[in-house]
Structure 1
Amino acid sequence: MKAFVAKLLPPLAVVGALTLIPLTTSSVAAADADTMKELDTFMDVFNQVRATYVDPVDDHTLIKGAIDGMLAALDPHSSYMEGTDYSQLKTTTDGNYGGVGLSVTIEDGAVKVITPTEDTPADKAGIKAGDYITHVDGELLYGLDLDEAVDKMRGNPGTQTTLTIVRPGRDKPFDVKLTRARIELRPVKWEVKDGIGIVNINTFAGNTGQATEAALTAIDKATGGHPLGYVVDLRSNPGGLLNEAVRVSDAFLDRGEIVSERGRDKKDVENWYAKPGDMSHGLPIIVLTDVGTASAAEIVAGALQDHRRAIVMGERSFGKGSVQGVSELTPNSALRLTIARYYTPSGRSVQAGGIEPDIVVPQLSDPDYKTRPAVREADLRRHLLSQAAVKEDVLENDSTPDPRFSATSEELEKKGIKDFQLDYAIKTLKRLAPGTPSTVAKSR
């Protein structure tokens, strides 16, 4: 999956000889002896393949295959990257690449859509979370690894590609023709509606925190310094950089912990805290989440929810509560490895469980919302478990939405409501607002 919380680490240290590892106890020596036996088995297989496989295979192909196989035994977010794969990782976190704008994963050998990125060719063409992509330009994707599948969909802006989609609930596959574009992600968009500042954050790239702060300043200016409240829209946000999630959370908090990161060692704990100064002036906030809200976006939602700074509304989030470190091995290759779980200020791990909304609001304006399956972290093979006990009923069953949410998409369209969740959030904030704009100004 491309959606991840990236954290740069120093290059891996390579020990040149076994004798450089101190053997201070018999238990360590025994462990090293067991490791050597396993490595001997690996070398036996490696040498036999080199010598007797029906076609010649170069050493690089065999070693890369061994590394890929080793990491495939871990969680789905750990991988080895080289060449174009590593370049794609860097361009994605920079928020600038050529493609169609999809976050995808591999499920049982098939490419499944996690979420389309807003305002990209895939989003405009109507590709949905939960869709399967079986072919690109007639070429079967089944059996490819994730990087290979993504590489097929990316390409120079202006070039055309055709994706074959299988959508659960439909009888037949269908083709979607797309023109690739330069995906220069605008991480933050904003507007003011009925006195409510709407901050739409669609990714956590290198400038998301700064762009969020600029959006809050612009909303203040547009409302004469008196917005009634804020909607922070994190729907279909696949995540990104940890430090940007911290900066975004800090913009809405005046104090307290934002997130903690806990590694393999119990002592390996790192905490991030808010600095004084709430750019949202303590006004009411609603955070919108859905099944595509993942990773860094869940950090923001969890921090604001735990501090009772915001009402989380919408659907349960994706549930990616792990941190990936990226270690550059050579200028052309890197290891992306899950190194920690992150926790919300109250000590919750969202890994595999996600953020539960305070108010469950279905997207009634989407005619397929009842039939389209939701794909979350817990649905991925080898997903990392939360260290906290996660009850199966929490993973398998979402909270039941209020029975009052019964309008059809056709009925909403007649009323001019294109986004029911956003419309409901705005109406809720107007009820929560401390008063008219003038009253708000006096209350600060």
Structure 2
Amino acid sequence: MRVGRIAPFLVLASATLLGGWFLQEGVAREENVYNQVRLFQEVVDYVSDQYVEEVDREEVYRSAIDGLLSGLGDPHTSFIAAREYENVRIRTQGDYGGVGLEVLPRDGHVTVMNPIPGGPGARAGIRPGDWFVTIDGTPAEGLDVDAAVELLRGEPGTPVEVEMGRPGLVDPIPFTLERAIIQLRAVPFVQRLEGDIGYVPLQVFQATARDELQAAVDSLRGQGVQRLILDLRGNPGGLLEEGIGVTELFVDDGATVVETRGRGAGQSARYDASTGPTFAGMPVVVLVDGASASASEIVAGALQDHDRAALVGTTTYGKGSVQSLFPLTAGNVLRLTTARWYTPVGRSIDREVGDAAPRADHAALALTGAVVEVEGELDRPAFRSTAGRPLLGGGGIVPDVRVLPDTLTTAETGAVRALYRQGGEFNAALFAYAVSYIQQHPGLALDFEVGAAELAGFRTVLDEREVEVSDGVFADAERYIRYHLEREIAVQAFGEAGGFRHSVRWDRQLSRAVQLISGVQTTRELLAAAREIEGSTALIAEEAAVEAAAEAEGPDPSTDEGSAP
């Protein structure tokens, strides 16, 4: 009886003591926060009132806010002043034009991730990886993405002068862009390749992405297509719901598509497929590259995690963070990173996380003009797909089969960089020659080729337009010039689909995808074929998983040099 009476008393006493301790701890923390706020206000007051030169108090507060946010080391978090936010809101709701460039912060610059095909930026010759140096005379250094976009937008038909930095060049390249209304289809065209293989490029995850993709694949299946190559290269992302919708076309009902993890209320969530797969069983290869970002990575990661597709290309961009807008006093807005994306098996998409692998050992220039980040040995954490297939994590999505695009030699790269110094004039000459060539060849066939005579004619156009290109540069850059001359002619004569069909023979990544998917009847056979390719990511991931397991178990006592015989 005595024990029964004492036990409740001890519990009550412990609760009372702990409650008092927590109460005191809470008061102490509140006092500490109050003291810190008071300390900050005292510093602001002294600086505003006593500094040797007059200081704007509002600017002091703004500098403090900027310092706080920059200290987070997150390029996607920023303070948006009321006037800036209102201007952006008004312009995005009105009839305003742009220059057709998808931009993201990278390495302290507002960097072009993807020029929209046919847009002013792409037409002028701006490439992925270029960064803004000036926009209409305003230095771009220190600008956040919203401020840069605000300067680039304007009335359709009006010009905007920009200077662009480019890897490998010391001096910026000047361009004059004419703003235009940018209208972009998610799926610009479809193409039946050899046999029963279909090809669909998905350029952006806009409001109609799922519907356009479904219609595209349905049309190909009506032509007898049974295997699909889905091209997400250069796709910068877009709407989350469209990324989920596209994934739902291929994975089972209830399968996890993506997960967010954050500390704030409502920031951690899981998004599952809510419909059955429309294209169940169809073997799929997904093409990805360093410009595949955000929703593209969500789709690629989910299909890879669920063993639904084989990925071919290069590691994706690694834009795996979620930003939320918080209204502040006087109409100001805080854009704050509040969560990160994770694939169904828990791989982080974001390159910013601490265990992310370095972006690249070095960069090369592709025949297309794109900058290619060349990864060396993959030192990344190991994961397993839902079926137990080895995968690699660490930020960005590593494809199952890594294939670099056709890259330029050292001599070719130097010559092409010399062409870049001519800015938009070189690309303007390409366009002018292409239009003239098409007019002179009314019966032009898609299999045309540019020979010595055409190259000489283009050289004449460069001279007439006073584009300074030396004979040595022209000779070293001949392969690059020939590729872009043929593509420009094909696009102008036959549209984007024609440009694709004409240049497909140079696409090493697509060629590998066709080779991989040809002849397989099931997704299981496709993934097995991908694993058998020398240097496949699956084999690298398997080795990483074995090493990780060995480290987790610790050293084998039988081989420990310090143990007794």
Both proteins in one fold, TM over 0.5: yes
CA shift at 1:171, angstroms? 5.1
Higher mean C-alpha deviation, range 68-77 or range 83-92: 83-92
Report the equivalent of 1:260.
259
CA pair 144-403 structure 1, distance change in 2 beyond 3 A:
closer
> Does residue 1:35 correspond to 2:33, yes or no?
yes
Question: Which amino acid in 2 is paired with 1:232?
Answer: L
Aligned mates of 1:366, 1:84 — CA distance in 2: 43
Higher mean C-alpha deviation, range 121-130 or range 305-314: 121-130
Residue 518 of structure 2 is aligned with which of 410, 431, 436? 431
Question: Which amino acid in 2 is paired with 1:260?
Answer: E
Indicate conservation of the 8 Å contact 2:350/2:395, yes or no. no
Aligned mates of 1:364, 1:420 — CA distance in 2: 14
CA pair 429-189 structure 1, distance change in 2 beyond 3 A:
farther
CA shift at 1:100, angstroms? 1.5
CA pair 276-110 structure 1, distance change in 2 beyond 3 A:
closer
Q: Map Cα deviations across residues 31-73 of structure 1 (whole Å, 9 max, x no partner).
A: 22222222112212322344346346263x4444433332222
CA pair 303-149 structure 1, distance change in 2 beyond 3 A:
same
> In the TM superposition, what are the counterparts of 1:156-235 in structure 2 within 5 Å?
156-170=155-169, 172-194=171-193, 195-205=196-206, 207=207, 210-221=208-219, 223-224=221-222, 226-235=224-233
Any gaps of 5 or more consecutive residues in structure 2? 1-20, 358-362, 376-380, 384-392, 410-477, 487-500, 523-565
Aligned-residue CA RMSD in angstroms?
4.3
Question: Which amino acid in 2 is paired with 1:237?
Answer: N
Counterpart of 1:163 in 2: which secondary structure?
A: strand
Indicate conservation of the 8 Å contact 1:204/1:239, yes or no. yes
Residue 245 of structure 2 is aligned with which of 244, 247, 271? 247
CA pair 135-265 structure 1, distance change in 2 beyond 3 A:
closer
Q: Map Cα deviations across residues 161-200 of structure 1 (whole Å, 9 max, x no partner).
A: 2221222223543212211122344334341322544433
Report the equivalent of 2:148.
149
Indicate conservation of the 8 Å contact 2:190/2:199, yes or no. yes
Counterpart of 1:182 in 2: which secondary structure?
A: coil
Report the equivalent of 2:3.
none
- TM-score w.r.t. the length of structure 2 is 0.58
| Structure possessing the higher radius of gyration over alpha carbons | 2
> In the TM superposition, what are the counterparts of 1:3-402 in structure 2 within 5 Å?
25-52=23-50, 54-55=53-54, 57=56, 59=58, 61-74=59-72, 75-83=74-82, 85-86=84-85, 98-106=97-105, 110-170=109-169, 172-194=171-193, 195-205=196-206, 207=207, 210-221=208-219, 223-224=221-222, 226-255=224-253, 256-264=255-263, 269-329=268-328, 332-352=331-351, 366=367, 368=369, 372=371, 374=373
Question: Which amino acid in 2 is paired with 1:41?
Answer: L
Counterpart of 2:349 in 1: which secondary structure?
A: coil
CA pair 90-333 structure 1, distance change in 2 beyond 3 A:
same
Question: Which amino acid in 2 is paired with 1:76?
Answer: P
Question: Which amino acid in 2 is paired with 1:235?
Answer: R
Aligned mates of 2:167, 2:113 — CA distance in 1: 14
CA shift at 1:334, angstroms? 2.7
CA pair 407-373 structure 1, distance change in 2 beyond 3 A:
closer
Aligned mates of 1:340, 1:214 — CA distance in 2: 29
Counterpart of 1:98 in 2: which secondary structure?
A: coil
Larger relative contact order (C-alpha < 8 A, sep ≥ 6)? 1
Counterpart of 1:181 in 2: which secondary structure?
A: coil
Counterpart of 2:66 in 1: which secondary structure?
A: helix
Aligned mates of 1:150, 1:310 — CA distance in 2: 36
Between Structure 1 and Structure 2, the one with more strand by share is 1
CA pair 295-90 structure 1, distance change in 2 beyond 3 A:
farther
Aligned mates of 2:86, 2:517 — CA distance in 1: 46
Indicate conservation of the 8 Å contact 2:161/2:177, yes or no. yes
Report the equivalent of 1:417.
503
Indicate conservation of the 8 Å contact 2:267/2:338, yes or no. no
Indicate conservation of the 8 Å contact 2:367/2:408, yes or no. no
Question: Which amino acid in 2 is paired with 1:236?
Answer: G
Indicate conservation of the 8 Å contact 2:313/2:509, yes or no. no
Q: Map Cα deviations across residues 233-274 of structure 1 (whole Å, 9 max, x no partner).
A: 222222233233222211222231111112227997421111
Any gaps of 5 or more consecutive residues in structure 1? 1-22, 357-361, 377-385, 436-444
Indicate conservation of the 8 Å contact 2:205/2:242, yes or no. yes
Q: How many residues align?
A: 388
